[in-house]
Chain A
Amino acid sequence: MADMMQFDLVSPEKMLASAKVSAVDLPGSEGDMTAMPGHAPMVISLRPGVLRADSGGEISEFVVTSGFVEINAGAVSVLAEKAIPRELCTREEIQALIEAAREKAAAAEPDTRDIGEKLVADLVHLLDMMD
């Protein structure tokens, strides 16, 4: 494996993953993308979705809610607000997040309501993907 890069997934409470990987699929707020070694330096924000890290055939998946990714040629650092390994994430948890997001969207000012509703839609989509 010549082409590997450092992948770090950190949430405020702990470091969830730190490994050498060959590719990372990211749910970017402007669309999904895959970061591979040698990628141009980039900072993107995340939407709720599933993040997939491929460490030479071994794939680990995480459910992330929101956050940022810093991409360099040799490293991908994910700063997730909330990240849960896919197998530990339950539908109930996402359902609770959807409820919270719905309430927030309903209470939001008209000019920010779109953002809140998009969050709800993304979460609902994520819930569908869990099956």
Chain B
Amino acid sequence: MANLKDLKIRIESVKSTRKITQAMQMVAAAKLRRAQEAAEAGRPYGQRMAAVMANLAQGAAGSDSAPRLLAGTGKDDVHLLVVATAERGLCGGFNSSIAKLARQHADDLIARGKTVKILTVGKKGREQMRREYGEYFVGHVDMSGIKQLGYDNAKGIADDILARFDAGEFDVCTIFYSIFRSVIAQIPTAQQLIPAEVVETEGDVPFYEYEPDETEILAELLPRAMTTLVFTALLENGASEQGARMSAMDNATRNAGEMIDKLTIEYNRSRQAAITNELIEIISGAEAL
């Protein structure tokens, strides 16, 4: 009976799909652990950088000589949106939730009459934004060749952004990425890079001496603080991607399992029906004799 054979083929194909999703889930789990470790290892640097920045910036923010990276250009006409996503799909809503947030921001800015420029990091975000926002694209950073995300990767992106800023291409820069909370929760986030956001410090700030003087240190520190923010964003994104893929593949594996159960029941039923049919034929044939 052809139907039986079809069912059998179907069951086999779903089984091999399940094998693939299961393997992807395990790979994602292993990668997630590494990505999480990397994100954790980078945290002390980011925190201290933010603390030193906060001390310095509070002193400098009020003065007229504050660097442009901190004070901004005095306008906010042109916005650069850095959309950081993954290079690969099959990770649930990870890429689309970041793209969605970026799209909302872009729409909002365009509605307010601002100029929008978009720099994409990672292929998937670019693909998702291209149709509607392709005309705003000013650049793309390809991350596909990178095995282990390093500080130098972030530095490359940050240097690119800084060069554009120095050339006067934009006034405000925001990066879009996903913060990793847990395997089932990744929070798409917008973080302003330029002008630098200063976190208010609590309690008494010790009075520091600076060598070389404050302005020079600040001028050196600001680009580095920005690079750190980009690096943190990329690390969080890496962990989020693997987390999202892990839960997506877990779901897919479970769905495949359910499907196999259903198909197996259907297969057994039709097999029984076929046997019963044959028996009836034999018996009625025997009776006719």
Residues in B whose Cβ lies below 8 Å from that of A79: 45, 48-49, 52
Shortest distance between the CB of B68 and any CB in chain A (Å):
16
How many residues of chain B get a CB closer than 8 Å to chain A's CBs? 30
Q: Which of A6-14, A49-57, A84-92 is the interface stretch?
A: A6-14
Is A68 within 8 A of B45, CB to CB?
A: no
Instruction: Report which of A12, A28, A29, A30 forms a contact with B231, defined as CB distance below 8 A.
Output: A12
Instruction: Report which of A11, A28, A82 forms a contact with B211, defined as CB distance below 8 A.
Output: A28
Is A44 within 8 A of B42, CB to CB?
A: no
Shortest distance between the CB of B218 and any CB in chain A (Å):
10
- B132 is an interface residue with CB less than 8 A from chain A: no
- B140 is an interface residue with CB less than 8 A from chain A: no
Given contacts A41-B208, A42-B209, A43-B56, contact A10 B150 (CB under 8 A): no
Instruction: Report which of B38, B44, B52 forms a contact with A68, defined as CB distance below 8 A.
Output: B52
Is B48 within 8 A of A13, CB to CB?
A: no
- Encode A39-82 as 1/0 by CB contact (under 8 A) with B: 01111110000000000000000000001101010000101011
Instruction: Report which of B44, B150, B224, B227 forms a contact with A15, defined as CB distance below 8 A.
Output: B44
Is B228 within 8 A of A12, CB to CB?
A: yes
User: Which of B46, B51, B52, B207 gathers the greatest number of chain A CB atoms within 10 Å?
Assistant: B52
Residues in A whose Cβ lies below 8 Å from that of B42: 12-14
Question: Given the complex of chains A and B, what is the CA–CA distance between A42 and B213 in angstroms?
Answer: 11
Is A43 within 8 A of B210, CB to CB?
A: yes
- B217 is an interface residue with CB less than 8 A from chain A: yes
- B221 is an interface residue with CB less than 8 A from chain A: yes
Residues in B whose Cβ lies below 8 Å from that of A28: 211
Residues in B whose Cβ lies below 8 Å from that of A70: 48, 51-52, 208
Shortest distance between the CB of A91 and any CB in chain B (Å):
20
Is B151 within 8 A of A42, CB to CB?
A: no
Question: Given the complex of chains A and B, what is the CA–CA distance between A13 and B56 in angstroms?
Answer: 23
Is A13 within 8 A of B38, CB to CB?
A: yes
Overall SS of chain A's interface: strand
Given contacts A13-B150, A43-B208, contact A81 B52 (CB under 8 A): no
- B111 is an interface residue with CB less than 8 A from chain A: no
Question: Given the complex of chains A and B, what is the CA–CA distance between A72 and B204 in angstroms?
Answer: 13
Shortest distance between the CB of B122 and any CB in chain A (Å):
20
Instruction: Report which of B51, B210, B224 forms a contact with A81, defined as CB distance below 8 A.
Output: B224
- Known pairs A41-B208, A45-B217; list 16 more (Cβ under 8 Å): A10-B48, A12-B46, A13-B38, A13-B150, A15-B44, A28-B211, A30-B211, A42-B209, A43-B52, A43-B56, A43-B208, A43-B209, A45-B212, A68-B221, A70-B52, A79-B45
Question: Given the complex of chains A and B, what is the CA–CA distance between A119 and B208 in angstroms?
Answer: 26
> What residue in chain A is nearest B216 (Cβ atoms)?
A45
Is B210 within 8 A of A11, CB to CB?
A: no
- B206 is an interface residue with CB less than 8 A from chain A: yes
Shortest distance between the CB of A37 and any CB in chain B (Å):
15
For residues 191 through 209 of chain B, which have their beta carbon under 8 Å from a beta carbon of chain A?
A: 206-209
- B287 is an interface residue with CB less than 8 A from chain A: no
> What residue in chain B is nearest A8 (Cβ atoms)?
B44
Given contacts A10-B48, A45-B217, contact A15 B208 (CB under 8 A): no
Instruction: Report which of B44, B46, B217, B224 forms a contact with A43, defined as CB distance below 8 A.
Output: B217
- Encode B213-248 as 1/0 by CB contact (under 8 A) with A: 000110011001001100100000000000000000
Is A11 within 8 A of B45, CB to CB?
A: yes
Shortest distance between the CB of A62 and any CB in chain B (Å):
15
- B41 is an interface residue with CB less than 8 A from chain A: yes
